[in-house]
Chains A and B, each alone.
Chain A
């Protein structure tokens, strides 16, 4: 179906080749997963398939790519629209119309299909992706998972033979991600659709993949069955790390496989008791009967909670449950809220300037919102000047967090992880008493996530500070948080130590915990510590 013959790709003004002599054939009905570190060229590879690279972005391409017999050299992306459906990283940026139905019809209108065919296909695809109740909704009001489904639907109405998705689950909560992936799985099996996916959160997709294409970033690539690739790959889901840590010869890719292999281990080790958890007695953030409404919809419904010193609190919940609203209330930027919020006995609404920087550090969903200078060095200088600290402090902080960033780089040219690091060091340079992060792991690879975990743990332990983090990333929470607050529909439904909250809900349990249940182990290091402790 898709044929890469001896493909090389290089961007002008860049010293590294993205791809070098890649020869690859993807047959009909195959689901191929593309993995690699951030910035290695996964998106470029996906966009090569329908010719957006190089027709749209520039770049020098050697070799030939053909899809169902059409060469992308001769046919422009528009000419392949009936054959390839492509769903970008942020579907909201690619929507043209404003209601679901019109969005679905857009591509068909452009292809000049008769009106009756359009009606039929729209109905079909609405049913296929269970979008029928949303058909006349405004797209801007849909949740992330629903938008992702609309984007997939608007690609599927064209009856493509190939579907290309760039990080389809990165912005979704575990349940919405599961929905999207099982739909893809069904399409592959029922319609023999060929699917190519790039994704960072391997634990979510690896079970669905037929083959994996590993892009190194230096031009070299490896392709193979998931089991083979996972034997050596540094990019691997926690389940593979667990198998390696236990010294198992074969790596199982599903929870079921690994549970069978570790049965004796689980049973031979006495059931460990999770360490009792005692927060420090100093309350930092106190929230009392906090209510927030957008129009008639309640985003937060009389929330009461106290967050203590030295705590790392993860706020979890589905898309649109009110996580970001809660974080904004802690930071004091909501307009029409009732109830009281205090941070170190101050109302966060009334603090400004330097005092604010020293009280609350906030990293928004888009870290680049905080950055406005023309280069990394200017950004660091500005932070030094703002906080009246010794020149160079911010940069040395940055060098600790993410080593190897050149001072003259423009913040926009940094990778996602590097940009987060820069925003984090700018915020930390003021040494805030509370650090608040909104969805920091979108688009981060495992390596970047690991260093984020390390930084946050150090910050909380060494400086005795508290960190509040909203995230969908169960594995991050397992490694990082000491306490989890679970929000649904604006109300707190669970609040307690990470082990308790995560283990009580199957959808939000991390992979290691699923394998090791009933043992209360959340991460690979927990397992190792428990085994060593018992022997």
Chain B
């Protein structure tokens, strides 16, 4: 968290890339073979896409920054009621670098959050939450645990459709996917609600905690060092 804030604050490419590297190493070392561990790869992919799209838009649309011209894109002239916005035109190296820098910093922040999410399960997070947030926490946890199940269902249904000789392209294929998927998730959430209800969930206002996680000295140290990085930045 502190790292993400500092990246945003320092606004330097080198620092952003370095912190992504550190996160990558930590994730590779600490990662367990659990469903949520995949989320780091996913955020990495998402971040790369964001970088690509942002850079493209950054260089092609916006106010020109004067400097050395690298190449010139064909310019599209907009109607007169949109003054000041330029699409296409000459691309300067300054413009490219500023777009890249901003993109990289955004990516770094996303990747840091992804790394944090991949190292801990939402359920584990729930156990360090204060007790008055329990109800809220449980609903968040259930919502997040539905997502991986949804992903496996999608894969399974697509496979079955493929085996029926249906193509997986086009609008119709989404329709074919959506209907069984919707039915399944509805049935599943009804079943989950029934199971939780019959296990007495929501009956008492107060909850006890099984094996609460203890706050240790090392945790304080981590928070302290986080604050320190932020302060330096």
Contacts and interface: CB of A to CB of B under 8 A. Distances in A.
Interface of A: 47, 50, 52, 55-56, 76-82, 84, 86, 88, 90, 93-99, 101-102, 105-115, 118-119, 122, 138, 140, 154, 158, 295, 328, 331, 333, 352-357, 360, 362, 364, 366, 368-372, 374, 386, 412, 426-427, 430
A110 B207 contact: yes
B210 A119 contact: yes
Given A353-B165, A362-B164, A366-B156, A295 B33 contact: yes
Contacts of A119: 210-211
Given A88-B194, A88-B195, A372-B176, A333 B163 contact: yes
Contact of B123 (A98, A108, A158, A370): A98
Given A78-B197, A88-B191, A364-B160, A372 B204 contact: no
A110 B35 contact: no
A110 B202 contact: yes
Interface string B197-209: 1111111101111
B204 A110 contact: yes
B140 interface: no
Nearest to A93: B191
Interface string B149-181: 000000011011111110100000001110110
B202 A78 contact: yes
B37 to A, nearest CB: 10
Contact of A360 (B163, B184, B198, B202): B163
7 contacts: A78-B202, A94-B191, A106-B201, A364-B163, A372-B177, A372-B179, A374-B179
Interface in B108-167: 121, 123, 138, 142, 145, 148, 156-157, 159-165, 167
A319 to B, nearest CB: 17
Contacts of B193: 56
Contacts of B223: none
Contact of B142 (A55, A96, A111, A112): A96
Interface of B: 33-35, 121, 123, 138, 142, 145, 148, 156-157, 159-165, 167, 175-177, 179-180, 183-184, 187-188, 191-204, 206-212
Contacts of A371: 180
Contacts of A366: 156, 160
B211 A111 contact: no
A333 B159 contact: yes
A370 to B, nearest CB: 5
B109 to A, nearest CB: 27
A81 B165 contact: no
Given A96-B192, A356-B165, A81 B200 contact: yes
B210 to A, nearest CB: 3
A47 B156 CA distance: 30
A366 B203 CA distance: 35
A372 B212 CA distance: 46
Given A107-B200, A138-B35, A386-B165, A93 B142 contact: no
Contact of A109 (B160, B179, B207): B207
B210 A372 contact: no
Contact of B160 (A50, A352, A362): A362
B209 A369 contact: no
Contacts of A427: 164
Interface centre among A101, A102, A109, A356 (most CB of B within 10 A): A109
B179 A77 contact: no
Given A101-B211, A110-B200, 15 more contacts: A52-B197, A56-B197, A81-B200, A88-B191, A96-B201, A98-B123, A108-B210, A115-B209, A118-B208, A140-B148, A331-B163, A357-B165, A366-B160, A368-B184, A369-B156
